[in-house]
Chains A and B, each alone.
Chain A
């Protein structure tokens, strides 16, 4: 079975373009990634993904298909890995964030990130949310802003009486919402979420998903998920990645990107059809 998959993967190398919608969509991020290398290892190739303004873009695909790598290259988080190298361009509101004059630190202040493991800082709930405000020398009322962010993240009622307690004392789902509050406090333009629910139980997952749907009007959201049902529930647009093991390595690539309904109901590519039917994962 896996042998035939290799052949299909190689055959489906060229990503299909989504049919243009009637109204031209506005994009917060237009990434045209030719290749991503870790040292000599080709991790991702030929992946052009867009994050539409005011929409949720879901990245799905089997393990090792590079969807997280692509997501993390959208705010230059991969710069932390010294051997990381990207060929291509990632345009954020028209500017290529990989241009040499760009400071990745500033990029990350505009493109926030929520991680797979909830990762609050070892400080109080209040200070966790105020962290980005202090970092950006926020001029307004920090306490009001913290409350606003916690309300937006749907956490205020649960923590308003214990803002001085450590953020690490919260449950996993609460910690993840705290991380979302921390990320939106500085009002980033785009919110990247790297499997934000994979460490959470179904109830906490549901709360986070509802939160994403509420947040998408103000923040363009890109979410990596391992869970196809989750992509169907929240994503407006879905990008399907797969992995090509034909050349010995494991190279991820974009197979198809389009409206979520189309990806699941009428995929253009055979590989996508097999994946959404659950024939491999």
Chain B
């Protein structure tokens, strides 16, 4: 049996005129066939799973907006936290504290992380030092972040005699460093060998190859890693517990206890006062928005065009 196509009567005539030609196979779509049923049901199943995976994210966002959105105004963003039974107040010092400590952490972890990534990806990728550093960095990415706080408590807070923004920043940097280093390494390794060959062929020294060609080419990937590390550090609370502690006042120096959004959420959510609990919700929303902004920025850098 030959399938009749619109306007294909000539072809049909041809096939019947040629006895050697086999009849055209039946290629019409049939929904009830077993193969087709399996295909459709599995596709549906995957869609359901994907939706299910999105449920926690969107329910958290919904809860934060519905409970914290009401207090998201200028006063909340700019005022100091209220005491005991006071009404009003805000989370201004915690926003500043979080940004300052993440800034300190970035200032430490980005140069060391990118340079470490260059060592792992370019300078001596197969050396024993690189293998050991890579292993340690991978272990560190899965390291309980509270231990970074304990480490910095023993190493900085005790020696300085005070909780401080610096100690908080260092503790966050401990968490950011392996992420920055490993993503930088990956981005640098993705630069094709033929581009490095071209640079060598132009008469570049190994340093010039790395500085003028490999690093600029890998920059989008490196930036993505940095932004993801910053987004992760912004939301950390455990490393700050023993290092920055908390403060109800504006940040005046880097060597005094410092407020942060995550610790404010932790402190205020446990209080018996509705005003503080309300502020904890709003602080959660603000924190999620900050993390979201860094994630969006990291997306904007995109993947390198190779």
* In the assembled complex, A8 has its CB within 8 A of some CB on chain B: no
- Give the chain B neighbours of A109 by CB distance below 8 A: 202-203
* In the assembled complex, B217 has its CB within 8 A of some CB on chain A: yes
Given contacts A122-B217, A122-B305, A168-B305, contact A115 B205 (CB under 8 A): no
Given contacts A80-B197, A168-B305, contact A123 B204 (CB under 8 A): no
* In the assembled complex, A173 has its CB within 8 A of some CB on chain B: no
- Give the chain B neighbours of A186 by CB distance below 8 A: 202
* In the assembled complex, A112 has its CB within 8 A of some CB on chain B: yes
Interface size class of A (residues with CB under 8 A): 20 to 34
- Chain B positions 187-206 with a Cβ under 8 Å from a chain A Cβ: 192, 194-195, 197-205
A106 to B203, CA, bound (A): 6
Instruction: Please count the residue pairs between chain A and chain B whose beta carbons lie under 8 angstroms apart in the complex.
Output: 62
Given contacts A117-B194, A166-B305, contact A122 B216 (CB under 8 A): yes
Interface centre among B197, B212, B306 (most CB of A within 10 A): B197
- Give the chain A neighbours of B197 by CB distance below 8 A: 77, 80, 115, 119
* In the assembled complex, B208 has its CB within 8 A of some CB on chain A: yes
- The answer to whether B305 touches A131 (Cβ under 8 A) is no
A75 to B194, CA, bound (A): 16
- The answer to whether B201 touches A77 (Cβ under 8 A) is yes
- Nearest-Cβ distance from residue A187 to partner chain B, whole angstroms: 13
- Give the chain A neighbours of B306 by CB distance below 8 A: 122, 168
- The answer to whether B208 touches A135 (Cβ under 8 A) is yes
* In the assembled complex, A177 has its CB within 8 A of some CB on chain B: no
- Give the chain B neighbours of A183 by CB distance below 8 A: 201-202
* In the assembled complex, B302 has its CB within 8 A of some CB on chain A: no
* In the assembled complex, A70 has its CB within 8 A of some CB on chain B: no
- The answer to whether A108 touches B194 (Cβ under 8 A) is no
A120 to B192, CA, bound (A): 11
A131 to B13, CA, bound (A): 65
* In the assembled complex, A36 has its CB within 8 A of some CB on chain B: no
A186 to B216, CA, bound (A): 22
A281 to B58, CA, bound (A): 63
A176 to B44, CA, bound (A): 47
- Give the chain A neighbours of B150 by CB distance below 8 A: none
A123 to B197, CA, bound (A): 16
A80 to B198, CA, bound (A): 12
- Nearest-Cβ distance from residue A189 to partner chain B, whole angstroms: 13
B155-199 vs A, Cβ < 8 Å mask (1 yes, 0 no): 000000000000000000000000000000000000010110111
* In the assembled complex, A88 has its CB within 8 A of some CB on chain B: no
A121 to B208, CA, bound (A): 13
- The answer to whether B203 touches A121 (Cβ under 8 A) is no
A179 to B202, CA, bound (A): 10
A186 to B199, CA, bound (A): 13
- The answer to whether B199 touches A105 (Cβ under 8 A) is no
A182 to B212, CA, bound (A): 15
- Give the chain B neighbours of A166 by CB distance below 8 A: 305
- Nearest-Cβ distance from residue B125 to partner chain A, whole angstroms: 13
A114 to B208, CA, bound (A): 19
A130-160 vs B, Cβ < 8 Å mask (1 yes, 0 no): 0110011000000000000000000000000
Question: Which residues of A does B touch, CB under 8 Å?
Answer: 75, 77, 80, 105-109, 112-113, 115, 117, 119-123, 131-132, 135-136, 166, 168, 179, 182-183, 186
Question: Which residues of B does A touch, CB under 8 Å?
Answer: 192, 194-195, 197-205, 208, 212-213, 216-217, 304-306
- Closest 9 pairs (CB-CB, A-B): A109-B203, A113-B201, A119-B194, A108-B203, A119-B198, A122-B217, A132-B202, A117-B194, A105-B205
Q: A115-B197, A121-B195, A183-B201 are in contact. List 7 more A-B contacts (CB 8 A).
A: A108-B202, A112-B201, A119-B195, A131-B212, A136-B203, A166-B305, A179-B198
